[in-house]
Amino acid sequence: MSENTKRSLLSKISDSRREFMKGLATVAAATPVVGSMFKSGDAVADSHGAPKTMYLKGTYFESCTCETICPCLLLLDPTVGYCTAMLAWNIEKGHVGDVDVGGLKVGMFLHAPGNLLKGGFKVALYIDDDASNSQHQALKEAYHGIHGGHLGVVASLVQGEEGGPRHFLPTRSVSITMKEHSPDRHLIIHGVGENKMTQLGGAAGRPVMVHDTPLAVAPPFPITVSRAEKMTYNDHGISHTFEGGNGLSSPFVYMDGGAKQTAKEVG
């Protein structure tokens, strides 16, 4: 890539990047996480001892249409010009308000039409059908960005007018299966789609991992890199199949914070 091309690319995304990174910095400052170790009080308090209205902890994985390793992590354009992804979160413990949501799963279909920092995402949520009505509503609010934090930053990139509510596709209640048997991971959103991926082998048999990327679904954790065998999706009038894409996985911790959003479902 020529120096002129590099300067042009950086110029195009610089304003969006500053705003996005400002949001990430706000979240990171409010998230008492060091590596993969959690202090005993993290589930109920921040560094000032204030109760958290949202706390979610567990593991997640995803695959997308980018080549391994996904250039979106480095704020570059998606490999094929757009990024279509399937993601899922296994919530080991957590609460939203006074609703316990531990033991539940959330899936997501996401389509970004260009560089991720430009937003305009089309997003559909899938919530574990084991969830009660109150748990379903609580998780929908969390992933719609209502409680802010890093989920609020992500939701801010979903379709919608500037300053207005984010436009999500209708949320479904479905059975979700997540199998994690190293090196393989397999997601099934029953009746909707699935995602199979295998982590890449690195030096001395260790997995390939990337650290400190400027864009991540679950900062600040190191990300394990996989190769997706096949991703399929069929819902909301969208039919998508892709083979050989990028795969990522890591622990996650999400808390409430800045970047709170409003949202509505359309379609």
- Nearest by Cα to 126 from 172, 91, 191, 178: 172
- Residue 233 is inside which H or E element, if any? strand 223-235
Tell me the C-alpha to C-alpha distance, in Å, between residue 29 and each of 33, 101, 210: 10, 24, 21
Structure tokens that stand for 24 in this block: 């990430």
Q: Which residue has the higher pLDDT, 22 or 98?
A: 98
31 — pLDDT class (breaks 50, 70, 90): very low
More confident residue, 34 or 261: 261
Please state the domain extents for the chain.
Answer: 3-265
Longest distance between any two alpha carbons in the chain, whole Å: 55
Q: How confident is the model at residue 162 (pLDDT cuts 50, 70, 90)?
A: confident
Reference 127, options 170, 96, 166; nearest CA is 170
Reported as half-sphere exposure (CB side, CA atoms, 13 A), residue 184 has a value of: 8
Residues contacting residue 25 through CB under 8 Å, at least 6 positions apart:
none
Tallying the residues shown for the chain, one arrives at 267
Q: What does the block give as tokens for 222?
A: 């190191």
Query: Does 182 or 109 have the greater pLDDT score?
Result: 109
**Rounded CA separation 168/148 (Å):** 16
* 42 has a pLDDT exceeding 90: no
- Provide DSSP, 90-132: EEEEEEETTEE-TT-EEEEEEEESS-GGG--BEEEEEEETTS-
- What pLDDT is attached to residue 267? 86
The DSSP 8-state label assigned to residue 136 in this structure reads H
Instruction: Note whether 108 and 168 are within 8 A (CB).
Output: no
Report, as an integer, the average pLDDT of 220-239. 96
Tokens of 172: 């479904």
Show the tokens assigned to 110. 């996401």
Q: Residue 241: what pLDDT?
A: 96
- Is the pLDDT at 82 greater than 50? The verdict is yes
Q: Give 15's pLDDT tier (boundaries 50, 70, 90).
A: very low
8 A C-beta contact, residue 93 and residue 58: yes
Tell me the one-letter amino acid at 237: G
Output the pTM of the full model. 0.83
- Give the distance, in angstroms, between the CA of residue 17 and the centroid of all CA atoms in the same chain: 18
